[in-house]
């Protein structure tokens, strides 16, 4: 399970209509790995909101890309989300999602989530 930030979209490979960030070099993509517990938490608490607001199709075992506009929406959604009683690992994941989404907006690229 991994979160990806596209540093550039220039000459980025596509998997169908979606940018495939999983096979790119570190100079083009930054990644953050997370565990099955955090993935399960995302599926149970955030995935439905992300799918509804960012037009993704995430579920257990899925990969999807969120463009810069979707990252703006994601940031608003994450800003409203209550992390009370969340584990340190979940808080770290959400912090990294916010960081990557912010940078994607600045770079006009996007992020990908691989559950």
pLDDT digits (tens, 9 = 90+) for 59-94: 999 999 999 999 999 999 998 877 778 899 999 999
For the packed helices 88-107 and 36-45, what is the interaxial angle rounded to 10 degrees? 70
pLDDT tens-place string over residues 10-67: 999 898 889 999 999 999 999 999 999 999 999 998 999 999 999 999 999 999 999 9
Domain count, the chain: 1
Instruction: Give me 72's structure tokens.
Output: 């703006």
HEC sequence for 65-81:
EEEHHHHHHHHHHHHHC
* Alpha-carbon gap, residue 108 to 94, rounded angstroms: 20
Domain boundaries, position 29: 2-114
Residue 60 to residue 1: CA distance in whole angstroms: 10
Torsion of CA 96, 17, 63, 60, to 10 degrees: 130
- Report the CATH number that the domain containing residue 7 is assigned in CATH: 3.40.1760
CB 110 within 8 A of CB 17: no
Report if pTM > 0.85.
yes
CA distance 14 to 42: 25
């Amino acid at each position: 399970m991994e979160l990806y930030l596209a540093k550039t979209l220039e000459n980025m490979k596509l998997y169908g209509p979606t940018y495939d960030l999983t096979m790119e070099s570190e100079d083009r993509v930054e990644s953050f790995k997370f565990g099955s517990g955090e993935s399960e938490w995302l599926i149970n608490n955030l995935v439905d909101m992300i799918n509804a607001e960012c037009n993704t199709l995430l579920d257990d075992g899925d990969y999807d890309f969120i463009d810069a506009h979707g990252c703006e929406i994601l940031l608003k959604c994450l800003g409203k989300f209550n992390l009370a009683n969340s584990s340190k690992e979940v808080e770290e994941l959400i912090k990294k999602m916010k960081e990557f989404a912010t940078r994607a907006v600045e770079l006009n690229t996007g992020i990908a989530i691989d559950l």
